[in-house]
Structure 1
Amino acid sequence: MSGIQRRELLVGTAAVALAGCATTTPAQQPLRRVAFGSCFDQSQAKQPVWDAILAAKPDLFLFGGDNVYCEMPFTRERLREAYAQASTSAGLRRVRETIPHLAIWDDHDYGQNDGGADFAGKQVAKEEFLAYWNVPANDARRQREGLYTSQAFGPPGQRVQVIVLDTRWFRSPWKRTDQRDAPGKERYVADADPSKTILGAAQWAWLEQQLREPAQVRLILSGYQVLAEGHGWERWGLLPHEKQKLLRLLADTRAGGVVLLSGDRHIGTFYRDPGTAYPLTEVTASGFTHTWEAAREAGPNRIGELFTELHFGTVDIDWAARAIQLALVDLQGRTRRSVALSFDELKVTA
């Protein structure tokens, strides 16, 4: 596709505006490669990741959060400065101008480290997010709380649904650890309080509707990890009833083709939970400009070892073979970790 066509996708007969681009030319080709990642420090002088992403030629790119780092304490001016500095990156600008993309925030572009529903600056942060990402005036995100959204790509029978969750705006406070930096309890511990939420009632209801829509592949993007266990950093398992609610919803809606994508951790890795309706798989890709090179942690549900070099993630879809490959790709374009899935195993059969 030409550069213009790559920025213009139609779903059925409804135009979908991505990153504020006009949508005037139909493009019904199915997605074959989706790339994604997180954690971009706009102050870093060297940013080779963008050249690697451009070389990979994805059909769609997902910015998974911490897309800039706002200096704390939060002010509108500091967040605006962070976005302005990011806008000077020639590589990032080429990615945004030539690859269709969707974005969600995590804590550092939300405006508060590990922030949730009680963050006083979240409306200001949302306004700056909408402006930076050129979100159209008629987009639903401008009319409701939070930044959750979804898009479907490709023709019937080859449809990829991208569901972008907002795990910040509505999220109840985490339960703080009683043993800071202890393995498995580094910052927070699990909280069984049933009144607490990650998504909030409106987003939960919206998500159920989305999961009932037809799609062969569903990419669900969460700012922080869903299936990971064994560490005390932010993750869905800190509110175990919310994590189980998500897994039950996937089973109850019989939503097939689900792959979970996440960021936040400054590492890359894969997880699989065999106790779900089908073997649910997650790939975490976190480290555009900086990673946690010394990372060591327990790995319940983890597939393989942590990857701690700079990287981004890819989802390659082979429609003829009915297969998906999830990968972590380094700055030289080499696949360093990968997991293969088939469409047939991503089904609710019971």
Structure 2
Amino acid sequence: MSRKVFLLFLHIFFLQHLTSKSEHSPSLVSRISFGSCSNQSAPQPIWDAIIKFDPQVFIWLGDNIYGDNRRPFSIFGRVRTIGPWKNAERFFPSSELEMRYRYQQAKSNPGYSAVRRKARVIGTWDDHDYGLNNAGKEFPGKDINQKLMLDFLDEPQNSPRRKQAGVYASYVFGPQGRQIKIILLDTRYHRDPISSDGSMLGSSQWIWLENELNSSPTEITIIASSIQVFPYMVYVRRHCWEIEIAVFHLLVISNLTAVGSPLFVLESWARFPKERARLFKLIADSNRSGVFFISGDVHFGEITRYDCGTGYPLYDVTSSGLTQSVEQAIPHSLSLLVRFMAWLMPSTMRIYGEDCRYRSCTYAKPNFGAIEIDWDAAPVSLKIELRDVNGDPVNNVKVLLSDLHPGGTYRTQPTAGTHKHHCSLEVDLPWLSRHCFAIVFYTSLLGLALAMGVLIHITVSVSKQIFVKLKRD
């Protein structure tokens, strides 16, 4: 009898810890929306456009609230957040009471409340709702904040998701033959320090993910990652000096640390190359078809594609943010400069097309993602769009489901010595292309310094002449 009890216990443990949360809803789903980076204190008119799209499922991709706090930039004084005398971090966590209040503020927004009534809402988190900017497994408040985040999502009290370490989960929607699996990753709870090239997901989540990818096949599998999977994103941050919001948001669109380094780097899977390679191998080894990624975090939208990971094209559709965006954080007069800089940066992964609102095929204003599946088409087709605050498309990609199968017509490796779009990494680009941004940036600084020097020289010379003339008179 005791042996049977023991086996029963093992069976229950396996279901709870390897499958985590896996729900199945048999209703056909053909419209899914997703978004990230929503400041609970900011105006949120974009919910009207999301409601108009009429999604059956809405996916949070992180930064669902901004729960941490930010000190002002200060070089001098008792609290110094930048400069060589820095003695305090700019970002610091909130109390449990503050986090609870901010979640309630977000949840009571009329627009979001309307979405909750119409659609099934699921989601994961990123750093600001996790509790601290750029934080990983070292953050001490993660367990308390996990409970608050799951409360925000109306997670049942008996959900296995409340018992595990991390908020990862999976859901299956639709009837047999027309099923969509949504896998929500947790890129915070178990993540090692950014510069370590350690683990992104942690051992337990990797085991769970392998189990999910090797489980019953579905026609479509959406993997939701709070941070981007393909690009090596950029972020203005040096150890003893930080450049404030305006310059940060001019540079963040560059899309490549390889291109912007050593000026700036940003969080993405590319900061953990071994983990990203493991992710691609896991998908390839599972022989699972119909996989693509959605992501957030970066305060602009874009669509990227990688053809050399699994034997068929992998798409990463980034929507960020619902309220937070690059162009809202800078003076309006700099918007054209931002778009020019985005166009200037080389990208081997970004999809360019005539349907893009701007030539760079990035969109740095509030946006959300919209997925439409035509199940009646032969073959089944997907239209994935980024939409603006009015619900109008700003970028899109149309994909046939038959193209997302292993062993398709896409060549998976570039010819030796060549650089293939959607296959070669940015670090493999020619030196001049890879460093064009840094060249332009430093040349501009040099030109500005020279211009200021010339202006000062002219001013001093003219002043001397005037002084001499006045003295003679």
TM-score category by the smaller chain? 0.7 to 0.9
1:31-50 → structure 2 map (5 Å cutoff):
31-44=29-42, 46-50=43-47
Quote the offset at 1:164 in angstroms: 0.2
Q: Is the 8 A contact 2:68 2:129 kept in 1?
A: no
TM-score by length of 1: 0.85
Query: Corresponding residue for 2:278?
Result: 245
Query: Corresponding residue for 1:337?
Result: 395
1:1-350 → structure 2 map (5 Å cutoff):
28-44=26-42, 46-72=43-69, 73-74=92-93, 75-175=95-195, 193=197, 196-213=198-215, 214-229=217-232, 230-231=256-257, 232-276=265-309, 277-293=311-327, 294=338, 296=342, 297-304=345-352, 305-321=361-377, 322-349=380-407
Describe the SS at the equivalent of 2:362. Answer: strand
TM-score by length of 2: 0.63
Q: Is the 8 A contact 1:17 1:136 kept in 2?
A: no
Runs (4 or more) in structure 1 with deviation over 4 Å come to none
Over alpha carbons, which structure has the higher Rg?
A: 2
Quote the offset at 1:87 in angstroms: 2.7
Query: Corresponding residue for 1:10?
Result: none
Q: State how far apart, in whole Å, the 1-side matches of 2:29 and 2:225 are.
A: 20
Quote the offset at 1:299 in angstroms: 2.3
**What are the superposed Cα offsets for residues 239-287 of structure 1, whole Å, 9 maximum, x if unpaired?**
1000000000010001110110000000000110111221111100011
**What are the superposed Cα offsets for residues 155-212 of structure 1, whole Å, 9 maximum, x if unpaired?**
111000000000000000011xxxxxxxxxxxxxxx5x4xx10011111111111112
**What are the superposed Cα offsets for residues 52-71 of structure 1, whole Å, 9 maximum, x if unpaired?**
10010011110111000013
CA RMSD, 1 decimal = 1.8
Q: Which protein is richer in helix relative to its size?
A: 2
Q: State how far apart, in whole Å, the 1-side matches of 2:109 and 2:170 are.
A: 27
> In the superposition, relative to structure 1, how do residues 157 and 96 fare at CA in structure 2: closer, same or farther (>3 Å)?
same
Describe the SS at the equivalent of 2:41. Answer: coil
Q: Which protein is richer in strand relative to its size?
A: 1
Quote the offset at 1:80 in angstroms: 1.2
Quote the offset at 1:343 in angstroms: 1.1
Q: State how far apart, in whole Å, the 2-side matches of 1:124 and 1:300 are.
A: 40
Q: State how far apart, in whole Å, the 2-side matches of 1:298 and 1:200 are.
A: 33
Q: State how far apart, in whole Å, the 2-side matches of 1:143 and 1:28 are.
A: 26
Describe the SS at the equivalent of 1:246. Answer: helix
Report the residue type matching 2:296 in the other structure.
Answer: G
> In the superposition, relative to structure 1, how do residues 343 and 17 fare at CA in structure 2: closer, same or farther (>3 Å)?
closer
**What are the superposed Cα offsets for residues 56-95 of structure 1, whole Å, 9 maximum, x if unpaired?**
0011110111000013222212211211221331111111
Q: Is the 8 A contact 1:261 1:284 kept in 2?
A: yes
Q: State how far apart, in whole Å, the 1-side matches of 2:58 and 2:186 are.
A: 17
Query: Corresponding residue for 1:7?
Result: none
Describe the SS at the equivalent of 2:144. Answer: helix
Number of matched residues? 309
Report the residue type matching 1:320 in the other structure.
Answer: D
Quote the offset at 1:116 in angstroms: 0.5
Name stretches of at least 5 consecutive residues in structure 2 with no aligned partner: 1-20, 70-91, 233-255, 258-264, 328-337, 353-360, 409-473
The alignment-based identity, stated in percent, is 35
**What are the superposed Cα offsets for residues 298-331 of structure 1, whole Å, 9 maximum, x if unpaired?**
4231113211121100111111221111100112
> In the superposition, relative to structure 1, how do residues 270 and 27 fare at CA in structure 2: closer, same or farther (>3 Å)?
closer
Report the residue type matching 2:300 in the other structure.
Answer: I
Describe the SS at the equivalent of 2:277. Answer: helix
Report the residue type matching 1:331 in the other structure.
Answer: V
Report the residue type matching 2:349 in the other structure.
Answer: N
